[in-house]
Structure 1
Amino acid sequence: VDTALRAALISLPALGVRRLRRRVRQAVVDVVRELVAHEETPRHPEVIGRPPREPVPDTRPGPEQPQRYVVPGLRGHTRLVAGMVYANRPWRLFGSLSRALAGVFATATVLFINSATWNLATALGAVQHAVITAVSAVALTLWIIVDHQLWERGDDLPARHHPLYPYNLVTLVTIALAVVVLATALFATLVAVSFLLLDASVLHKFIGRQVGVGDYLFLAWFITAIAMVGGAFGTSLEGDEKVSDAAYGRRQRERQRMLRQMSRPERGGRRGPDTTDG
Structure 2
Amino acid sequence: MPESTPREDTPTSTVGLLADPGVPRQIAESIGSRLSIDLQDEVGGRWSVEVSEETLPIAPDGAIPLAERTPELLSRHRWNRVVYLTDLTQYRDDTPIRYLLAEDESSVVVFVPAIGLTRPSASVRRLVRDILVAYHRDSQLPDHRMPGPLGRIRMLAGMVRSNRPAAMGRALRGCTAVGMASGAFGIFFGSVWPIADSMSYLRLAAVSVSVVSALSAWLIVRNGLWTRRRNLAPQSGTLDNASTVVTVWTAVALMHVVLFIGLAALAGVVVEPSYLAGQLGHATSVRDYLVLGWFSASMGTMAGALGSNFDDETVVREATYSRRWHQRRLMFDDYGS
Q: Same fold (TM over 0.5)?
A: yes
Which of 93, 107, 110 is equivalent to 2:182?
107
What is the Cα-based RMSD across aligned positions, in Å? 2.1
Instruction: Give the TM-score normalised by the residue count of structure 2.
Output: 0.65
Matched residue SS, 1:26: helix
Which of 261, 264, 271 is equivalent to 1:191?
264
1:142 aligns with 2:223: no
Partner of 1:219: 292
Deviation string, structure 1 residues 154-180 (Cα, Å, up to 9, x no partner): 23346xx34741000000110111122
Which of 175, 187, 196 is equivalent to 2:248?
175
Cα distance between partner residues in 1 of 2:278 and 2:122: 59
1:7 aligns with 2:107: yes
Partner AA of 2:124 in structure 1: V
Cα distance between partner residues in 2 of 1:71 and 1:189: 43
**Residue 86 of structure 1, CA deviation:** 0.4
Which of 138, 142, 150 is equivalent to 1:38?
138
With over 3 angstroms needed to count, the CA separation of the structure-2 counterparts of 1:207 and 1:190, relative to structure 1, is same
Partner of 1:25: 125
Partner AA of 1:16 in structure 2: G
1:204 aligns with 2:277: yes
With over 3 angstroms needed to count, the CA separation of the structure-2 counterparts of 1:134 and 1:75, relative to structure 1, is same
- Greater relative CO, 1 or 2 (CA 8 Å, sep 6+): 1
With over 3 angstroms needed to count, the CA separation of the structure-2 counterparts of 1:162 and 1:136, relative to structure 1, is same
Q: Which runs of 5+ in 2 are unaligned?
A: 1-100
Which of 306, 317, 322 is equivalent to 1:244?
317
Which of 100, 107, 116 is equivalent to 1:16?
116
Are the aligned partners of 1:3 and 1:35 in contact in 2 as well (CA < 8 Å)? no
Cα distance between partner residues in 2 of 1:164 and 1:234: 32
**Residue 80 of structure 1, CA deviation:** 0.8
**Residue 143 of structure 1, CA deviation:** 0.8
Are the aligned partners of 1:7 and 1:35 in contact in 2 as well (CA < 8 Å)? no
Q: Which runs of 5+ in 1 are unaligned?
A: 43-49, 51-68, 261-272
**Residue 192 of structure 1, CA deviation:** 2.5
Cα distance between partner residues in 1 of 2:199 and 2:125: 53
1:75 aligns with 2:150: yes
Aligned residues: 237
Cα distance between partner residues in 2 of 1:148 and 1:190: 28
Which of 91, 98, 123 is equivalent to 2:173?
98
Are the aligned partners of 2:216 and 2:252 in contact in 1 as well (CA < 8 Å)? yes
> How many percent of aligned residue pairs carry the same amino acid?
27
